[in-house]
C-alpha cells in the first residue's frame, strides 16, 4: 500500500496503481478513473451521468474501495429527507437529553446514487456539505473530515419521478463525466468477465496519501500568469458563445485551474501547467455550467448528433477561438 508522497512523480505512480486496481473489475473507463483521481486530489466532487446499466455506481464504488477511507452510499428516493443525509437529534432517555446522530454524509467518500430522484429540499442539504465541508443541524455546525468527496450518479434519460438539479447544485461539481455505451470489443470483455467471479479489490492508497497529494498539487504544481490568463479568457468567452444564455462562473474558472493542475500531476507527473492540461479538462469542467437557449438544440440533426455532442462542439469552438499563450 502507498502511504507517502513526496513529489508529483509519486502522484502519477499512485494514479497508475489506482487505475490498475480499478481496471481489474471494470472495462474501458481509464480516462474517467484519472478524472476521479484528479477530483479527489484537488478537493472536488463529481457527477457521473450516463444511460442505465453503463456502470456509473459500479465505477464509483470500485474507486472508493481502492482507497483506504470511510465510504457511504445514499440511495436517492422521492421520500428521502434532509435528515436522512445530514443526521438528526435523537432523544436519549438514559441521559434525558438530545444527542446528535450523524448521517451518512459524515464520511470521507459519499456516493449519492440517482441524485435527481431526491426532492429539491433534500438536494439542498448537500450544498453546504459540498461547498463548505460542514454540516449545520439545529444551530450546531460540525466540520467534515478530510478528504471529503461526493460522487453523484444520474441517468441521462429518466424523467418520471425525478427533479432537475438546479444550477447552484451543478456548479458545485468539479466534473460532469459522461459514460458512453461501450464499443463492441469492450462489450465482449464485460460479458466475458461477468461469466467468472471478479477479484476483490484491495485498498492501495492510504487516507493520509490523499491529503498529502492534495497539498502537493496546490503548493508544488505551478501555473504561470499566462496560463491563469488563458483560463480566465476561456471562461469569459463561454458567455459569448452562440445560443448560450449564461456562461461559466468565476467558480468555474477556479475549478478549471485546479483541474488543470491535477491533470498535470496525475497524468504526467509534472510540476507546472501547460495549455494542453487546460484543454484536456475543459469539457468535463464546463459542460454542466453552461445554460443554453431553449432553441439551442433545434438545429441538431437528430440522426447524427446529441445534446452532449452539441456541448462538445460549443466548448471546442470556445477553445479554438481563444488564443493559446506562448
Average pLDDT over residues 130-151: 90
Write down the H helix ranges in the chain: 8-22, 30-42, 56-65, 83-86, 120-132, 167-170, 184-194, 207-220, 225-237, 250-263, 275-286, 307-321
pLDDT of residue 38: 96
Contact 15, 37 (CB under 8 A): yes
Q: Check residue 298 and give its pLDDT.
A: 67
d(CA 41, CA 211): 7
How is residue 194 written as a grid cell? 461477468
pLDDT, the chain, mean: 89
Residue 168's pLDDT is what? 86
Structure-derived torsion over alpha carbons of residues 24, 29, 35, 36, reported in degrees to the nearest 10: -40
Q: Is the pLDDT of residue 301 over 60?
A: no
Lowest mean pLDDT among 185-194, 203-212, 314-323: 185-194
pTM for the full predicted model:
0.91
**Total count of residues recorded for the chain:** 326
Specify the pLDDT at position 299.
61
Q: Are strands 175-179 and 71-75 parallel, antiparallel or unpaired?
A: unpaired
pLDDT of residue 297: 67
Contact 166, 120 (CB under 8 A): yes
**Separation of alpha carbons 44 and 149, rounded Å:** 7
pLDDT band at 82 (very low <50, low <70, confident <90, very high): very high
Among 90-104, 254-268, 302-316, name the most confident range. Answer: 254-268
Place of cell 439542498: 124
Task: With a cut of 80, say whether residue 71 has pLDDT above it.
Answer: yes
Give 326's pLDDT tier (boundaries 50, 70, 90).
confident
| CB atoms near residue 66 (< 10 Å) | 24
Q: What DSSP letter does each residue of 155-175 carry, written as one string? A: ESS--TT--PPPHHHHTT-SE
**pLDDT average, residue stretch 27-36:** 91
Q: Flag whether pLDDT at 23 surpasses 80.
A: yes
Please state, in angstroms and rounded to a whole number, the distance separating the CA atoms of residues 286 and 175.
8
Is 80 exceeded by the pLDDT of residue 162? yes
> How much is the average pLDDT of 130-138?
89
pLDDT tens digits, 261-282: 999 999 999 999 999 999 999 9
Amino acid at each position: 500500500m502507498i502511504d507517502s508522497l513526496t513529489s508529483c512523480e509519486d502522484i502519477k505512480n499512485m494514479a497508475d496503481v489506482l487505475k490498475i486496481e480499478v481496471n481489474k473489475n471494470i472495462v474501458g473507463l481509464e480516462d474517467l478513473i484519472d478524472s476521479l483521481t484528479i477530483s479527489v486530489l484537488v478537493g472536488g466532487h463529481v457527477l457521473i451521468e450516463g444511460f442505465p446499466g453503463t456502470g456509473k455506481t459500479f465505477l464509483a464504488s470500485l474507486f472508493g474501495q481502492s482507497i483506504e477511507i470511510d465510504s457511504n452510499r445514499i440511495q436517492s428516493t422521492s421520500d428521502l429527507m434532509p435528515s436522512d443525509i445530514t443526521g438528526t437529534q435523537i432523544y436519549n432517555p438514559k441521559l434525558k437529553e438530545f444527542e446528535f446522530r450523524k448521517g451518512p454524509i459524515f464520511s470521507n467518500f459519499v456516493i449519492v446514487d440517482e441524485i435527481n430522484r431526491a426532492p429539491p429540499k433534500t438536494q439542498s442539504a448537500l450544498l453546504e456539505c459540498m461547498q463548505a465541508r460542514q454540516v449545520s443541524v439545529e444551530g450546531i455546525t460540525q466540520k467534515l473530515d478530510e478528504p471529503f468527496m461526493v460522487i453523484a450518479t444520474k441517468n441521462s434519460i429518466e424523467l418520471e419521478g425525478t427533479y432537475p438539479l438546479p444550477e447552484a447544485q451543478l456548479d458545485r461539481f468539479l466534473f460532469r463525466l459522461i459514460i458512453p455505451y461501450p464499443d463492441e470489443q469492450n462489450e465482449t470483455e464485460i460479458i466475458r468477465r461477468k461469466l467468472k467471479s471478479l477479484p476483490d479489490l484491495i485498498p492501495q492508497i492510504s487516507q493520509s496519501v490523499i491529503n498529502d497529494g492534495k497539498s502537493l498539487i496546490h503548493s508544488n504544481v505551478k501555473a504561470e500568469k499566462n496560463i491563469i490568463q488563458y483560463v480566465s479568457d476561456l471562461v469569459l468567452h463561454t458567455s459569448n458563445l452562440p445560443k448560450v444564455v449564461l456562461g461559466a462562473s468565476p467558480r468555474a474558472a477556479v475549478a478549471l485551474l485546479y483541474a488543470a493542475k491535477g491533470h498535470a500531476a496525475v497524468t504526467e507527473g509534472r510540476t507546472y501547467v501547460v495549455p494542453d492540461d487546460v484543454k484536456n479538462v475543459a469539457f468535463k469542467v464546463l459542460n454542466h455550467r453552461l445554460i443554453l437557449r431553449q432553441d439551442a438544440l433545434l438545429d441538431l440533426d437528430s440522426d447524427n448528433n446529441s445534446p452532449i455532442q452539441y456541448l462538445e462542439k460549443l466548448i471546442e469552438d470556445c477553445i479554438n477561438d481563444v488564443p493559446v499563450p506562448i
